[in-house]
Amino acid sequence: MRIQETLKDNICNFFNERYNTAIDKASIKIEKTKEGFEGDFSVNVFPFLRIAKTKPETLASDLGQYLQEKINTIQSVDVVKGFLNISLSDEFWKEFAQTSARTINFPSIYSNDKIVLEFSSPNTNKPLHLGHIRNNLLGESMSKILKLTGSRVIKVNLVNDRGIHICKSMLAWMKWGKGKTPADIGVKSDKFVGDFYVLFDKKYKEQVKELVEKGMSEDEAKKEAPLIKEAQELLEKWEAGDPETLKVWEMMNGWVYEGFDETYKKLGVSFDKIYYESQTYKKGKELVYEGLKKGVFYQKEDGSVWVDLTDAGLDQKLLLRSDQTSVYITQDIGTFIIRDNDYHADKYMYVVGNEQEYHFKVLQQILNKLGLDGSKVVHISYGMVNLPSGKMKSREGTVVDADDLIAEVIEKAKEKAEELGKLDNLEEETKRKTYEIIGLGALKYFILKIDAKKDMLFNPQQSVDFEGNTAPFIQYTHVRINSLINKAKNQGIDTFELKVVDKPIRTILKTLYEYPQIIAKAAKTLNPAVIANYIYDLARDYNQFYQTNPILKAENKDLKVSRLYVSQKVADYLKHTLSLFGIDIPKKM
């Protein structure tokens, strides 16, 4: 049992015995003692003054005396106003170092639940972009965190491979592509398809402008423009199974999948199963028709099918258009059923932007109306990603492709490393790999260190800084420790052991002790940023420890091997935490 839980149990016993009052264990807040005060952990007694009806200093003092009598690992207590600061014994920290710090036991958050985690969910009309990078990195990181806390995670991808947006790219290629392929012009295959999506929008806007100039309203012009009508006709042909339409669709989607796979490999992202909207929307339509027969849904005069969710505080939601083509919610219903049949999971988590929060509330309610368990649906929401240059739009071609951004960050890492002269003595191929490790690490960490629910501004230049809250700073800390360890071994010191627990060492150990609870919090809140803050604090604290405490030149051997011991532990923890973000560590920096 962790010491915080032991303290909480005994604090509850204290109030039961002294005041015959049961207190809520969750109301007891135990935190690391603030810097500048004596102690490892602090208890705030102010919330309990209404029970004790005494001065805060008196209550804290009485509680401290009680805890010392009951818990033999408490070395001393110190009362500062209404705070009880508790110092644990050296033996406690040595025991932690010899057991928990060797094999970290993480709390079980979802009780061995089976979780189907969907992320990425790209459209096959364009390459992956900066927004997809955040989505993919969140999904991949959360899968690792959830597994660490006891869940069985199945990573899935739902590819949006059908719909009007796909038909726009197809139609543009059919009209202006002249039969060319990505190989013909030497363009990455998903980028090739995306360029036709942009071309469609350009030509469409020209048609809308012409119609407006002839006296038509803009709204009417957008509906009557020949290109949009042709795209809608193409969608109807696709849903009707027209062979020629399907042939073009399969060819262009194949190009996109080839490009996606290249990008996923760069990001270190993988999936256990890939679903395709073209296969799941039919099941969704079946369920909508069944719901219509049962009176769960209703049909308007134009033939469109709707669901009324006003009783759940929502709105009326379209499920099938008047021409019986489906919408996004239709395929999500079908996908849920198919996955539930495949996995019978406890939770179905979706990493999707926060603009779709309403969508998932609707999905939950529709599933409930169909007699299914909508509470299994969990939306892992995240905010938009912008660059210093501003917002991005796919249709206008202003989106930054994921591949271009990855290349830019690696180049920035190269420039920064060359400026600092840190890799001058390495061979060219080793340098290239090191730049890649630093650049990709910088990208992943910068994205994941921001609270997932918040919008963020990604700055490539800041991400590769070797100082501050960045991956290169943390990677360099690990490299520094490895260099220290190698020097120690060259001096014949190959056994590190915690023999001394002085104040600087204790400070590091307290941070290490927090790690399992940090992971638990990240799993509960579905937010890897909690871990990023921890990694940075650990690296920063260690660098301060390194600068102010001689290690290889420590005043005696016991202190030397103890400081080497905590150094090695910090390196192990940094490596483990970075692995949860998919970040590697170079051998030299």
Q: What is the pLDDT of residue 386?
A: 85
Q: Do residue 13 and residue 130 come from a single domain? A: no
Range 152-155, long-range pairs (CB < 8 A, 24+ positions): 152/112, 152/113, 152/114, 152/115, 153/115, 153/117, 154/114, 154/115, 154/116, 154/117, 154/272, 154/273, 154/343, 154/345, 155/117, 155/119, 155/270, 155/271, 155/272, 155/273
Tell me which H or E stretch contains 352.
strand 347-353
User: How high is the pLDDT of residue 392?
Assistant: 42
Q: pLDDT over 70 for what percent of the chain?
A: 97
148 and 184 together in one domain: yes
Say if residue 394's pLDDT is above 50: no
Task: Give per-residue pLDDT as tens, 290-348.
Answer: 999 999 999 999 999 999 999 999 999 999 999 888 888 999 999 999 999 999 999 99
Please indicate, yes or no, whether residues 283 and 432 belong to a single structural domain of this protein. Answer: no
Shared domain check, 274 and 372: yes
Mention every residue, 6+ apart, whose C-beta is less than 8 A from residue 193.
Answer: 124, 125, 126, 127, 169, 173, 252, 255, 256, 259
C-beta neighbour count of 221 within 10 angstroms: 19
Domain match, 26 and 72 both: yes
Binned at pLDDT 50, 70 and 90, residue 395 comes out as: very low
pLDDT band at 107 (very low <50, low <70, confident <90, very high): confident
pLDDT in tens, 194-234: 999 999 999 999 999 999 999 999 999 999 999 999 999 99
What local confidence, expressed as pLDDT, does residue 213 receive? 95
> Are residue 366 and residue 431 in the same domain, yes or no?
no
Confidence at residue 35, expressed as pLDDT on a 0 to 100 scale: 86
Structure tokens at 129: 């972009």
Do 352 and 234 fall into the same domain?
yes
Q: What is the DSSP letter of 114?
A: E
Give pLDDT tens digits for 464-486: 999 999 999 999 999 999 999 99
Q: How far apart are CA 441 and CA 470, in angstroms?
A: 9
Residue range 3-37, pLDDT digits in tens:
999 999 999 999 999 999 999 999 999 999 998 89
Q: Which of 88, 105, 128 is the last residue of a domain?
A: 88
Name residues whose C-beta falls within 8 Å of residue 259's C-beta, 6 or more positions apart in sequence: 127, 188, 189, 190, 191, 192, 193
Q: How many domains does the chain have?
A: 3
**Please, are residues 375 and 406 in contact by the beta-carbon 8 Å criterion?**
no
- Residue 403 located in a structural domain: no
- Do 65 and 183 belong to one domain? no
Packing angle, helices 243-267 and 164-176, rounded to 10: 110
Say how far apart CA 211 and CA 232 lie, in whole Å. 19
Q: For 354-459, list the strands marked E by DSSP.
A: 377-382, 385-386, 456-457
Of 521, 513, 372, 528, nearest in space to 450 by CA:
528
Is residue 99 one of the residues assigned to a domain?
A: no
User: What pLDDT was estimated at residue 553?
Assistant: 94
CA distance 257 to 235: 20
Domain range spanning residue 332? 119-386
* Band of pLDDT at residue 398, cut at 50, 70 and 90: low
Does 482 map to a domain?
yes
Query: Of the candidates 36, 71, 88, which is a domain's last residue?
Result: 88
Q: Are residues 441 and 521 in the same domain?
A: yes
Whether residue 95 contacts residue 501, with contact meaning beta carbons closer than 8 Å, is answered with: no
What is the rounded distance in angstroms from the CA atom of residue 317 to the CA atom of residue 306? 5
Segment 434-471, tens digit of pLDDT: 999 999 999 999 999 999 999 999 998 999 999 999 99
β partners of residue 79: 84
Residue 394 CA: distances (Å) to CA of 194, 322, 401, 456: 8, 28, 10, 18
Distance CA 578, CA 467 (A): 17
Q: Could you tell me the pLDDT band of residue 393, with boundaries at 50, 70 and 90?
A: very low
Beta-carbon contacts of 256 under 8 Å, excluding residues fewer than 6 positions away, are: 124, 125, 127, 189, 190, 193
> At residue 88, what are phi and psi to the nearest 5 degrees?
-95, 160
The pLDDT value recorded for residue 53 is 94
Domain of residue 315, CATH code: 3.40.50.620
Q: Let me know whether 23 and 130 are in one domain.
A: no
Do 243 and 172 sit in the same domain of this protein? yes
Which CATH number do you get for residue 460? 1.10.730.10
Beta strands in 225-340 (DSSP E): 273-276, 298-299, 305-308, 316-320
Check pLDDT > 90 for residue 109. no
Contact predicate 124/250, CB 8 Å = no
Q: Is residue 391 part of a domain?
A: no
* HSE-CB of 160 using CA atoms within 13 angstroms: 22
Which pLDDT belongs to residue 101?
59
Do 39 and 131 fall into the same domain? no
CA distances from 537 to 5, 503, 508, 540 (A): 24, 17, 10, 5
Give the pLDDT confidence of 405-429 residue by residue, as tens digits: 999 999 999 999 889 887 888 899 9
Instruction: Share the mean pLDDT of the chain.
Output: 94
Round to whole Å and give the CA distance between 469 and 463.
9
Residue 255 has pLDDT above 70, yes or no: yes
pLDDT above 90 for 399: no
DSSP per residue over 211-225, as a string?
Answer: HHHTT--HHHHHHH-
374 in any annotated domain: yes
* pTM greater than 0.75 (yes/no): yes
Helix (H) or strand (E) holding 30: strand 30-32
User: Distance between CA 324 and CA 332 in Å, rounded?
Assistant: 16
Q: Looking at the domain assignment, is residue 155 inside a domain? A: yes
**Token output for 417:** 């490393």
How does pLDDT run across 509-548, given as a tens digit for each residue?
A: 999 999 999 999 999 999 999 999 999 999 999 999 999 9
pLDDT for 326 equals 83
pLDDT average, residue stretch 352-381: 97
588 domain residue, yes or no = no
Residue 589 lies in a domain: no
Residue 82 sits in a domain whose CATH number is 3.30.1360.70
The answer to whether 260 touches 121, Cβ cutoff 8 Å, is: no
The model's confidence at residue 106, banded by pLDDT at 50, 70 and 90, is confident
What gap in Å lies between CA 30 and CA 51, rounded to an integer?
19
Weakest mean pLDDT among 95-109, 155-169, 181-195: 95-109
To the nearest whole percent, how much of the chain has pLDDT over 90? 87
